[in-house]
């Protein structure tokens, strides 16, 4: 912080730097050129803050976006120790610009097959300290898991990638006969089967693949329906959850095999209310 610089940022200053951050992020997501130094110099002229102070706030904004499972700007690694006021500034921007919650809409063309999909081991369960109340409220308001569940285009694109990936995998195993039998079940038959893609292993045994896609990180939360959980218990040897993440930058995938309770923390979020009582 420069000598004599004010310690606390005003809402007006925070709103300016958050808006500028999202402008750069939009360019980055669209692979459009932009100059970080020029953006900082413009902000210095607008809010009279030092270069280092502005840089630090950029890292803080990335930390808030990380909580919301929104891709953040490369080079501005999240710094978790931030003031409550930056949460409010990001919230105000999202309320006025809700499209930033769906950066996948910036993609200019169809996803296609994406043969470069990288498959890796799943993450392990970790114990994290409780988040501050302001951060918890922000996450509940812009729930990443619910956002992905309702995003039909993102779900469609993820399923398309897995569908083609399974065909390619089988062809690479010299099983073109099985590759021709891979079915995109949710597209052909609709939802409700408990899985999205029917595939096979090298020996011809069925693989029932439920695809979960996010633009967020490897550990971004996701929803599992009662039907999917029930099917995973009925066919544990054949069922897999294919989790696609980091969807915009470099899509990667890992698989989760039943019993799911040993790999992820499952929490009931709602109950069905009816007037039928069964003793």
- Structure tokens belonging to residue 110: 């169809």
- Contact in structure between 161 and 117 (CB atoms under 8 Å): yes
- Contact in structure between 18 and 61 (CB atoms under 8 Å): yes
Domain boundary residue among 99, 119, 152? 99
What are the φ and ψ backbone dihedral angles of 23, each rounded to 5 degrees? -65, -45
Q: What DSSP letter does each residue of 67-84 carry, written as one string?
A: HTT----TT--------H
Average pLDDT, the chain: 91
- Contact in structure between 253 and 243 (CB atoms under 8 Å): yes
Residue 240 has pLDDT above 60, yes or no: yes
Q: Does residue 117 belong to any structural domain of this protein?
A: no
Residue with tokens 């006021």: 85
C-alpha to C-alpha distances, 196 to 159, 209, 250, nearest whole angstrom: 7, 6, 22
Is the domain of 202 the same as that of 153?
A: yes
Q: Higher pLDDT residue, 125 or 91?
A: 91
Is the domain of 55 the same as that of 138?
A: no
Q: What pLDDT, on the 0 to 100 scale, is given for residue 95?
A: 97
In the chain, DSSP finds a helix count (H) and a strand count (E) of 10, 6
How many other C-beta atoms can be found within 10 angstroms of the C-beta atom of residue 2? 12
Q: What does DSSP assign to residue 99? A: G
- Contact in structure between 89 and 15 (CB atoms under 8 Å): yes
Q: Does residue 116 belong to any structural domain of this protein?
A: no
Q: What is the C-alpha separation between 101 and 214, in angstroms, rounded? A: 11
Is the domain of 150 the same as that of 226?
A: yes
Is the domain of 148 the same as that of 95?
A: no
Is the domain of 95 the same as that of 142?
A: no
* pLDDT tens digits for range 195-228: 999 999 999 999 999 999 999 999 999 999 999 9
Q: Does residue 114 belong to any structural domain of this protein?
A: no
Mean pLDDT of 29-40: 93
Q: Does residue 185 belong to any structural domain of this protein?
A: yes
Residue 3 has pLDDT above 60, yes or no: no
Is the domain of 48 the same as that of 94?
A: yes
Q: What pLDDT, on the 0 to 100 scale, is given for residue 8?
A: 86
Is the domain of 142 the same as that of 214?
A: yes
Residue 26 has pLDDT above 60, yes or no: yes
Task: Give the global pTM.
Answer: 0.88
Q: Does residue 92 belong to any structural domain of this protein?
A: yes
Domain of 53, in residue numbers: 11-99
Q: Which of 5-9, 94-98, 170-174, 225-229 has the lowest mean pLDDT?
A: 5-9
Domains: count for the chain: 2
Is the domain of 155 the same as that of 74?
A: no
Residue 279 has pLDDT above 70, yes or no: no
Domain boundary residue among 46, 75, 99? 99
Q: What pLDDT, on the 0 to 100 scale, is given for residue 83?
A: 84
Q: Does residue 273 belong to any structural domain of this protein?
A: no
Q: Does residue 189 belong to any structural domain of this protein?
A: yes
Q: Does residue 187 belong to any structural domain of this protein?
A: yes
Is the domain of 149 the same as that of 229?
A: yes
Q: Which of 52-66, 218-232, 262-276 has the lowest mean pLDDT?
A: 262-276
Q: What pLDDT, on the 0 to 100 scale, is given for residue 2?
A: 46
Q: Percent of the chain, pLDDT > 70? A: 94
* pLDDT tens digits for range 103-135: 888 765 555 545 468 889 999 988 888 888 999
């Amino acid at each position: 912080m420069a000598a004599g610089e004010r310690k606390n940022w005003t809402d007006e200053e925070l709103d300016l730097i958050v808006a500028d951050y999202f402008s750069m992020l939009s360019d980055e997501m669209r692979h459009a050129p932009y100059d970080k130094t020029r953006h900082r110099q413009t902000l210095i002229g607008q809010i009279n803050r030092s270069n280092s102070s502005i840089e630090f706030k950029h890292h803080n904004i990335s930390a808030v976006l990380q909580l919301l499972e929104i891709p953040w700007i490369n080079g501005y690694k999240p710094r978790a120790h931030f003031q409550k006021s930056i949460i409010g500034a990001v919230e105000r921007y999202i309320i006025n610009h809700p499209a930033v919650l769906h950066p996948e809409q910036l993609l200019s063309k169809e996803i296609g097959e994406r043969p470069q999909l990288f498959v890796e081991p799943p993450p392990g369960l970790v114990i994290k300290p409780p988040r501050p109340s302001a951060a918890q409220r922000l996450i509940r308001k812009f729930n990443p898991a619910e956002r992905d569940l309702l995003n039909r285009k993102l779900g469609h694109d993820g399923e398309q990638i897995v569908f083609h990936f399974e065909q390619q995998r089988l062809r690479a195993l010299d099983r073109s006969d099985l590759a021709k039998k891979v079915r995109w079940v949710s597209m052909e038959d609709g939802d409700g089967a408990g899985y999205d893609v029917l595939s096979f292993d090298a020996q011809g045994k069925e693989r029932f693949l439920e695809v979960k896609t996010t633009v967020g990180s490897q550990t971004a939360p996701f929803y599992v329906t009662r039907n999917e959980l029930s099917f995973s218990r009925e066919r544990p040897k054949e069922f897999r959850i294919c989790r696609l993440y980091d969807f915009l930058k470099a899509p990667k995938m890992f698989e989760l095999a039943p019993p799911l309770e040993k790999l992820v923390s499952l929490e009931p979020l709602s109950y069905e209310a009816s007037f039928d009582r069964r003793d």
